[in-house]
Amino acid sequence: MRSKVSVIGAGFVGSTLAQRLAERDYADVVMFDIVPDMPQGKALDILEAGPVLGYDSLVIGTNDYADTANSDIVVITSGFPRKPGMSRDDLVKKNQEIVAQVTEQVVKHSPNCIIIVVTNPLDAMAQVALKVSGFPRERVIGMAGVLDTARFRTFIAQEVGASVRDVQAYVLGGHGDTMVPLARMCTVAGIPISQLMPADRIEQIVQRTRDGGAEIVKLLKTGSAYFAPSASVLQMVDSILLDKKMIMPCAVSLQGEYGFNDIFVGVPAQLGAKGIEKVIEIELTPEERNALEKSADAVKELIQVMGL
Ligand SMILES: NC(=O)c1ccc[n+]([C@@H]2O[C@H](COP(=O)([O-])OP(=O)(O)OC[C@H]3O[C@@H](n4cnc5c(N)ncnc54)[C@H](O)[C@@H]3O)[C@@H](O)[C@H]2O)c1
Ligand SMILES: O=C(O)C[C@H](O)C(=O)O
């Protein structure tokens, strides 16, 4: 039987993800939205590309949660994106309500699914989904680190004129202004970047990575990034559905790892058929440790604002 992936929210991230998933040809895809007819129209459009591109994925658009029943993975993208001048945290109240209500329905129809949260502010919304679902932490994962790391890798590759495939990096912490790009562990074909570029240039790239989401928001003016975000979710879905056990930075509800408890923080995690199969603890320098704590504090503040 084919796997089933449901995407809640058929906006820019949701519909681009549905397209990418359909092209993978390993799962049927259901796209849900509260806007009448819109998910149906987008799903039909993606389905009709199948004969040209050669995939047989069934793609359904719906306004009825019953169609999402028994999904293996549900990706929550529903909610407001920010506008220029806003921070992701400014979305917290509006999106908390949406994510809570969506999670309730998701769980009712797919009690055994793995949830991937995309809605911002990411770490706080993952906390909402974990709480409302009552799922174990292995089955509620936030997407942010793959995207932030992809941005970091893009800028490093551009700087040294290398293939992005040769650039390895990690961005840890919350998906906000205090995220922690680990420049010390960034390599190009195994060579530390400190041997390839001056420290001040590395610091500029680290800052551009932290501002990566805002850079796109400023250019788009009416919404936020979706091509790289949907590609990043796809990598997580690949690792889970194909049980590839890839290690990538994800927002995970930590239970003692890195000294944190019951708070979502971006850390390297191994993703497989069971969801989060392992949290990888990297030894951090005191400076990196401080930066991670500062980033976790920003997430804690939001959790308080939400009354969770
Ligand atoms: N974690 C990340 O790295 C990351 C990356 C990109 C975007 N995002 C976030 O993802 C979210 C979606 O971004 P987008 O660009 O797709 O926005 P969008 O406005 O294009 O789409 C959001 C969709 O959610 C739908 N929606 C609203 N309330 C709903 C509900 N109760 N049930 C179901 N659907 C509902 C809307 O109708 C809309 O179609 C935003 O919060 C954005 O900030 C996060
Ligand atoms: O920046 C945003 O608001 C969207 C997303 O979190 C991103 O990093 O692109």
* pLDDT tens track for 1-45: 899 999 999 999 999 999 999 999 999 999 999 999 999 999 999
Q: Nearest-CA neighbor of 241 among 29, 15, 19, 32?
A: 29
d(CA 243, CA 64): 29
For the entire predicted model, the pTM comes to 0.98
Q: Which ligand is located closest to the Cα atom of residue 80?
A: 1
Using DSSP's 3-state secondary structure scheme, residue 225 falls into: coil
Whether 56 has a pLDDT exceeding 90, the answer reads: yes
- Per-residue pLDDT, 1: 82
Select from 67, 80, 232 the residue to mutate for testing ligand 1; criterion: most ligand atoms less than 8 Å from CB.
Answer: 80
Residue 172 and residue 181: Cα distance in Å, rounded? Answer: 6
Give yes or no for a cis peptide into 81 (omega within 30° of 0). Answer: no
pLDDT bin (cut points 50, 70, 90) of residue 296 is very high
Residue in 304, 237, 276, 218 with CA at minimum distance from that of residue 57: 237
Please list every protein residue whose CB sits less than 6 Å from any atom of ligand 2: 81-82, 88, 120, 147, 175, 212-214, 216-217, 224-225, 229
Domain boundaries along the sequence of the chain: 3-142, 145-306
Strands 3-8 and 27-32 turn out to be: parallel
Confidence label for 63 from pLDDT (cuts 50, 70 and 90): very high
What's the rounded Cα separation, in Å, for the pair 194 and 303?
Answer: 36
What class, spelled out in words, does domain 145-306 have in CATH?
A: alpha beta
Q: What is the mean pLDDT of residues 247-271?
A: 97
Measured from the alpha carbon of residue 232, the closest ligand is 1
The rounded mean pLDDT for the chain is: 97
Q: Which CATH fold would you assign to the domain 3-142?
A: Rossmann fold (3.40.50)
Render pLDDT for 238-248 as a digit per residue (tens, 0 to 9). 999 999 999 99
Determine the pLDDT at residue 140: 98
Report the C-alpha gap between 254 and 276 in whole angstroms.
Answer: 11
pLDDT at 308 over 90: no
178-230 pLDDT, tens digit per residue, is: 999 999 999 999 999 999 999 999 999 999 999 999 999 999 999 999 999 99
Give me the pLDDT at residue 145, please: 97
Residue of 190, 186, 212 lying closest to 199 (CA atoms): 186
Query: What does the pLDDT average to over 275-287?
Result: 97
Q: What is the pLDDT of residues 108-135, one digit of tens each?
A: 999 999 999 999 999 999 999 999 999 9
